[in-house]
Structure 1
Protein backbone atom coordinates (compact mmCIF):
# COMPACT_ATOMS: atom_id res chain seq x y z
CA UNK A 1 0.00 0.00 0.00
CA UNK A 2 1.18 3.54 -0.66
CA UNK A 3 1.60 6.17 2.02
CA UNK A 4 -1.63 7.88 1.00
CA UNK A 5 -3.59 4.62 1.08
CA UNK A 6 -2.06 3.75 4.46
CA UNK A 7 -3.10 7.12 5.89
CA UNK A 8 -6.65 6.79 4.54
CA UNK A 9 -6.93 3.28 5.93
CA UNK A 10 -5.65 4.44 9.34
CA UNK A 11 -8.07 7.37 9.46
CA UNK A 12 -11.00 5.13 8.54
CA UNK A 13 -10.00 2.30 10.89
CA UNK A 14 -9.78 4.71 13.84
CA UNK A 15 -12.82 6.79 12.86
CA UNK A 16 -10.75 9.93 12.51
CA UNK A 17 -12.02 12.97 10.64
CA UNK A 18 -9.32 15.34 9.37
CA UNK A 19 -9.20 19.10 9.07
CA UNK A 20 -6.11 20.87 7.78
CA UNK A 21 -4.83 24.40 8.20
CA UNK A 22 -2.23 24.79 5.49
CA UNK A 23 -0.03 27.74 4.76
CA UNK A 24 3.06 26.76 2.77
CA UNK A 25 1.51 23.59 1.32
CA UNK A 26 -1.51 25.60 0.09
CA UNK A 27 -4.02 22.75 0.27
CA UNK A 28 -1.69 20.05 -1.01
CA UNK A 29 -2.18 17.84 2.06
CA UNK A 30 -5.90 17.46 1.42
CA UNK A 31 -5.35 17.29 -2.33
CA UNK A 32 -2.86 14.44 -1.98
CA UNK A 33 -5.14 12.52 0.40
CA UNK A 34 -8.11 13.05 -1.93
CA UNK A 35 -6.27 11.06 -4.62
CA UNK A 36 -7.31 7.90 -2.73
CA UNK A 37 -10.83 6.65 -3.55
CA UNK A 38 -13.02 6.74 -0.45
CA UNK A 39 -10.85 9.29 1.35
CA UNK A 40 -13.71 11.77 1.50
CA UNK A 41 -15.27 9.96 4.45
CA UNK A 42 -12.21 10.90 6.52
CA UNK A 43 -11.81 14.52 5.42
CA UNK A 44 -13.84 17.30 6.98
CA UNK A 45 -12.07 20.25 5.36
CA UNK A 46 -8.85 21.75 4.18
CA UNK A 47 -8.18 25.42 4.83
CA UNK A 48 -5.46 27.34 3.06
CA UNK A 49 -4.52 30.38 5.12
CA UNK A 50 -1.58 32.41 3.86
CA UNK A 51 -2.00 35.87 5.32
CA UNK A 52 -1.88 36.73 9.02
CA UNK A 53 -5.38 38.14 8.64
CA UNK A 54 -6.73 34.84 7.26
CA UNK A 55 -5.00 32.87 10.00
CA UNK A 56 -6.67 35.10 12.58
CA UNK A 57 -10.08 35.34 10.89
CA UNK A 58 -10.63 31.66 10.15
CA UNK A 59 -8.61 29.93 12.86
CA UNK A 60 -8.26 32.46 15.68
CA UNK A 61 -4.47 32.62 15.46
CA UNK A 62 -3.49 35.52 17.70
CA UNK A 63 -1.78 38.50 16.09
CA UNK A 64 0.30 38.64 19.29
CA UNK A 65 1.60 35.14 18.56
CA UNK A 66 2.45 36.08 14.99
CA UNK A 67 4.15 39.32 16.11
CA UNK A 68 6.16 37.63 18.86
CA UNK A 69 7.14 34.37 17.14
CA UNK A 70 6.59 35.03 13.43
CA UNK A 71 4.50 33.34 10.78
CA UNK A 72 7.00 30.49 10.46
CA UNK A 73 7.02 29.21 14.03
CA UNK A 74 5.86 26.23 16.03
CA UNK A 75 3.76 28.59 18.13
CA UNK A 76 1.83 29.76 15.07
CA UNK A 77 1.45 26.21 13.75
CA UNK A 78 0.05 25.08 17.12
CA UNK A 79 -2.60 27.82 17.06
CA UNK A 80 -3.44 26.89 13.46
CA UNK A 81 -3.95 23.24 14.41
CA UNK A 82 -6.07 24.04 17.47
CA UNK A 83 -8.14 26.50 15.43
CA UNK A 84 -8.77 23.82 12.81
CA UNK A 85 -9.73 21.32 15.51
CA UNK A 86 -12.08 23.73 17.29
CA UNK A 87 -13.77 25.27 14.25
CA UNK A 88 -14.60 22.15 12.27
CA UNK A 89 -16.18 18.73 12.58
CA UNK A 90 -12.85 16.97 13.03
CA UNK A 91 -11.07 14.99 15.71
CA UNK A 92 -7.64 15.35 14.12
CA UNK A 93 -6.17 18.51 12.67
CA UNK A 94 -2.84 19.18 11.13
CA UNK A 95 -1.27 22.47 10.29
CA UNK A 96 1.85 23.87 8.76
CA UNK A 97 3.51 27.16 8.09
CA UNK A 98 6.87 27.71 6.50
CA UNK A 99 9.09 28.94 3.72
CA UNK A 100 8.74 26.83 0.56
CA UNK A 101 10.72 29.26 -1.56
CA UNK A 102 11.98 30.63 -3.79
CA UNK A 103 13.73 32.87 -1.22
CA UNK A 104 14.29 32.85 2.52
CA UNK A 105 12.35 35.28 4.69
CA UNK A 106 13.31 36.84 8.03
CA UNK A 107 16.54 34.80 8.01
CA UNK A 108 14.53 31.54 7.93
CA UNK A 109 16.01 29.23 5.30
CA UNK A 110 14.01 27.96 2.36
CA UNK A 111 12.57 24.53 3.12
CA UNK A 112 11.82 25.26 6.80
CA UNK A 113 8.34 24.06 7.75
CA UNK A 114 6.72 24.13 11.19
CA UNK A 115 4.06 21.48 11.77
CA UNK A 116 1.42 20.84 14.40
CA UNK A 117 -1.01 17.96 14.89
CA UNK A 118 -3.99 18.26 17.22
CA UNK A 119 -6.16 15.34 18.33
CA UNK A 120 -9.40 15.15 20.27
CA UNK A 121 -9.63 11.86 22.15
CA UNK A 122 -11.84 10.87 25.07
CA UNK A 123 -12.88 14.47 25.65
CA UNK A 124 -9.32 15.80 25.82
CA UNK A 125 -7.06 17.56 23.36
CA UNK A 126 -3.52 16.58 22.49
CA UNK A 127 -1.02 18.67 20.58
CA UNK A 128 2.29 17.84 18.91
CA UNK A 129 4.62 20.03 16.92
CA UNK A 130 7.97 19.96 15.18
CA UNK A 131 10.05 21.84 12.65
CA UNK A 132 11.65 20.17 9.65
CA UNK A 133 13.79 21.42 6.78
CA UNK A 134 13.25 19.91 3.34
CA UNK A 135 15.62 20.20 0.38
CA UNK A 136 14.64 21.18 -3.12
CA UNK A 137 12.73 23.74 -5.08
CA UNK A 138 9.43 25.27 -3.96
CA UNK A 139 7.10 22.50 -5.12
CA UNK A 140 9.45 19.76 -3.95
CA UNK A 141 9.39 21.32 -0.47
CA UNK A 142 5.59 21.56 -0.56
CA UNK A 143 5.23 17.92 -1.64
CA UNK A 144 7.70 16.63 0.97
CA UNK A 145 6.00 18.69 3.70
CA UNK A 146 2.52 17.43 2.76
CA UNK A 147 3.63 13.80 2.85
CA UNK A 148 5.54 14.28 6.10
CA UNK A 149 2.46 15.78 7.76
CA UNK A 150 0.31 12.84 6.69
CA UNK A 151 2.92 10.22 7.53
CA UNK A 152 3.12 11.34 11.18
CA UNK A 153 -0.63 11.06 11.92
CA UNK A 154 -0.67 7.38 12.84
CA UNK A 155 2.39 7.42 15.13
CA UNK A 156 1.19 10.51 16.98
CA UNK A 157 -2.36 9.20 17.28
CA UNK A 158 -1.04 5.92 18.72
CA UNK A 159 0.80 7.91 21.41
CA UNK A 160 -2.51 9.54 22.34
CA UNK A 161 -4.49 6.29 22.37
CA UNK A 162 -1.77 4.41 24.27
CA UNK A 163 -1.62 7.09 26.99
CA UNK A 164 1.92 8.14 26.09
CA UNK A 165 0.96 11.78 25.43
CA UNK A 166 -0.20 14.45 27.85
CA UNK A 167 -3.40 16.36 27.15
CA UNK A 168 -3.23 20.08 26.50
CA UNK A 169 -3.36 21.91 29.81
CA UNK A 170 -2.01 19.03 31.94
Structure 2
Protein backbone atom coordinates (compact mmCIF):
# COMPACT_ATOMS: atom_id res chain seq x y z
CA UNK A 1 0.00 0.00 0.00
CA UNK A 2 1.31 3.43 -0.96
CA UNK A 3 1.74 5.83 1.93
CA UNK A 4 1.22 9.57 1.65
CA UNK A 5 4.82 9.97 2.82
CA UNK A 6 6.06 7.93 -0.15
CA UNK A 7 4.21 10.26 -2.52
CA UNK A 8 5.53 13.38 -0.82
CA UNK A 9 9.11 12.08 -0.78
CA UNK A 10 8.96 11.20 -4.49
CA UNK A 11 7.47 14.60 -5.33
CA UNK A 12 10.18 16.38 -3.30
CA UNK A 13 12.92 14.37 -5.00
CA UNK A 14 11.63 15.46 -8.41
CA UNK A 15 10.68 19.04 -7.51
CA UNK A 16 7.03 18.39 -8.37
CA UNK A 17 4.01 20.22 -6.94
CA UNK A 18 0.74 18.25 -6.63
CA UNK A 19 -2.92 19.29 -6.71
CA UNK A 20 -6.01 17.18 -6.16
CA UNK A 21 -9.49 17.46 -7.71
CA UNK A 22 -11.92 15.46 -5.63
CA UNK A 23 -15.59 14.67 -5.78
CA UNK A 24 -16.56 11.41 -4.02
CA UNK A 25 -13.68 11.67 -1.53
CA UNK A 26 -14.56 15.20 -0.42
CA UNK A 27 -10.93 16.21 0.13
CA UNK A 28 -9.66 13.00 1.74
CA UNK A 29 -6.72 12.67 -0.68
CA UNK A 30 -5.48 16.15 0.17
CA UNK A 31 -6.15 15.42 3.84
CA UNK A 32 -4.04 12.24 3.67
CA UNK A 33 -1.16 14.19 2.14
CA UNK A 34 -1.43 17.03 4.66
CA UNK A 35 -1.33 14.59 7.60
CA UNK A 36 2.42 14.55 6.97
CA UNK A 37 4.33 17.52 8.43
CA UNK A 38 6.03 19.62 5.78
CA UNK A 39 3.66 18.59 3.00
CA UNK A 40 3.16 22.22 1.98
CA UNK A 41 6.40 22.14 0.02
CA UNK A 42 4.83 19.77 -2.54
CA UNK A 43 1.04 20.01 -2.12
CA UNK A 44 -0.19 23.15 -3.86
CA UNK A 45 -3.95 22.82 -3.32
CA UNK A 46 -7.01 20.62 -3.34
CA UNK A 47 -10.24 21.27 -5.20
CA UNK A 48 -13.32 19.72 -3.61
CA UNK A 49 -15.92 19.82 -6.37
CA UNK A 50 -18.79 17.71 -5.13
CA UNK A 51 -21.54 19.25 -7.23
CA UNK A 52 -21.62 19.48 -11.01
CA UNK A 53 -21.80 23.28 -10.68
CA UNK A 54 -18.60 23.27 -8.61
CA UNK A 55 -16.87 21.07 -11.20
CA UNK A 56 -17.83 23.57 -13.91
CA UNK A 57 -17.03 26.73 -11.92
CA UNK A 58 -13.79 25.62 -10.25
CA UNK A 59 -12.32 23.24 -12.84
CA UNK A 60 -13.88 24.32 -16.13
CA UNK A 61 -15.75 21.07 -16.78
CA UNK A 62 -17.85 21.35 -19.93
CA UNK A 63 -21.62 20.97 -19.58
CA UNK A 64 -21.60 18.99 -22.84
CA UNK A 65 -19.30 16.41 -21.28
CA UNK A 66 -21.56 16.11 -18.23
CA UNK A 67 -24.62 15.66 -20.44
CA UNK A 68 -22.97 13.12 -22.71
CA UNK A 69 -21.13 11.01 -20.12
CA UNK A 70 -22.35 11.93 -16.63
CA UNK A 71 -20.32 13.10 -13.67
CA UNK A 72 -18.97 9.61 -12.97
CA UNK A 73 -16.99 9.02 -16.14
CA UNK A 74 -13.40 8.92 -17.31
CA UNK A 75 -14.15 11.93 -19.50
CA UNK A 76 -15.08 14.02 -16.44
CA UNK A 77 -12.11 12.66 -14.47
CA UNK A 78 -9.84 13.77 -17.33
CA UNK A 79 -11.39 17.24 -17.46
CA UNK A 80 -11.13 17.53 -13.67
CA UNK A 81 -7.44 16.58 -13.71
CA UNK A 82 -6.66 18.97 -16.56
CA UNK A 83 -8.71 21.74 -14.92
CA UNK A 84 -6.76 21.34 -11.68
CA UNK A 85 -3.51 21.46 -13.64
CA UNK A 86 -4.44 24.69 -15.42
CA UNK A 87 -5.85 26.35 -12.28
CA UNK A 88 -2.96 25.63 -9.91
CA UNK A 89 0.79 25.84 -9.57
CA UNK A 90 1.00 22.04 -9.72
CA UNK A 91 2.69 19.99 -12.40
CA UNK A 92 0.93 16.76 -11.37
CA UNK A 93 -2.74 16.35 -10.51
CA UNK A 94 -5.05 13.52 -9.57
CA UNK A 95 -8.83 13.65 -9.93
CA UNK A 96 -11.53 11.31 -8.64
CA UNK A 97 -15.25 11.09 -9.30
CA UNK A 98 -17.42 8.18 -8.30
CA UNK A 99 -20.38 6.63 -6.54
CA UNK A 100 -19.38 5.92 -2.95
CA UNK A 101 -22.87 4.76 -2.00
CA UNK A 102 -25.05 3.65 -0.58
CA UNK A 103 -27.03 3.17 -3.72
CA UNK A 104 -26.30 3.52 -7.39
CA UNK A 105 -27.35 5.64 -10.31
CA UNK A 106 -29.55 4.38 -13.12
CA UNK A 107 -26.58 3.18 -15.21
CA UNK A 108 -23.62 3.14 -12.81
CA UNK A 109 -23.05 0.83 -9.86
CA UNK A 110 -22.11 1.69 -6.32
CA UNK A 111 -18.35 1.55 -5.88
CA UNK A 112 -17.44 2.75 -9.38
CA UNK A 113 -14.72 5.41 -9.28
CA UNK A 114 -13.10 7.14 -12.24
CA UNK A 115 -9.57 8.47 -11.87
CA UNK A 116 -7.61 11.01 -13.89
CA UNK A 117 -3.92 11.89 -13.62
CA UNK A 118 -2.61 14.90 -15.51
CA UNK A 119 0.80 16.39 -16.27
CA UNK A 120 2.02 18.77 -18.93
CA UNK A 121 2.43 15.69 -21.14
CA UNK A 122 -1.25 14.75 -21.02
CA UNK A 123 -3.83 12.91 -18.99
CA UNK A 124 -4.49 9.24 -18.29
CA UNK A 125 -7.71 7.81 -16.91
CA UNK A 126 -9.01 4.58 -15.51
CA UNK A 127 -12.10 3.22 -13.83
CA UNK A 128 -12.03 0.95 -10.80
CA UNK A 129 -15.03 -1.06 -9.60
CA UNK A 130 -14.58 -1.31 -5.83
CA UNK A 131 -18.06 -2.83 -5.47
CA UNK A 132 -20.75 -2.21 -2.88
CA UNK A 133 -18.32 -2.38 0.05
CA UNK A 134 -19.83 0.59 1.89
CA UNK A 135 -19.32 4.31 1.62
CA UNK A 136 -16.37 4.62 3.99
CA UNK A 137 -14.53 1.70 2.42
CA UNK A 138 -15.09 2.98 -1.14
CA UNK A 139 -13.72 6.36 -0.13
CA UNK A 140 -10.72 4.82 1.67
CA UNK A 141 -9.97 2.55 -1.29
CA UNK A 142 -10.22 5.56 -3.61
CA UNK A 143 -7.68 7.51 -1.55
CA UNK A 144 -5.31 4.54 -1.51
CA UNK A 145 -5.60 4.05 -5.27
CA UNK A 146 -5.14 7.76 -5.97
CA UNK A 147 -1.95 7.81 -3.90
CA UNK A 148 -0.66 4.78 -5.83
CA UNK A 149 -1.43 6.55 -9.13
CA UNK A 150 0.44 9.65 -7.98
CA UNK A 151 3.47 7.57 -6.96
CA UNK A 152 3.39 5.69 -10.27
CA UNK A 153 3.31 8.99 -12.18
CA UNK A 154 6.20 10.34 -10.10
CA UNK A 155 8.29 7.22 -10.65
CA UNK A 156 7.19 7.14 -14.32
What range describes the TM-score normalised by the shorter chain of this pair? over 0.9
Displacement, 1:2? 6.2
Displacement, 1:116? 0.2
The corresponding residue for 1:16 is 16
Q: Paired residues, what number?
A: 155
The corresponding residue for 1:34 is 34
The corresponding residue for 2:145 is 148
RMSD over aligned Cα atoms? 1.4
> Aligned equivalents of 1:73 and 1:12: distance in 2?
31
> Aligned equivalents of 2:79 and 2:9: distance in 1?
27
The corresponding residue for 1:138 is 135
Displacement, 1:106? 2.4
Any residues of structure 2 matched to 1:48-59 within 5 Å, and which? Answer: 48-59=48-59
Tell me which of the two structures has the higher relative contact order, counting C-alpha pairs closer than 8 angstroms and 6 or more residues apart: 2
The corresponding residue for 1:167 is none
The corresponding residue for 1:101 is 101
The corresponding residue for 1:162 is none
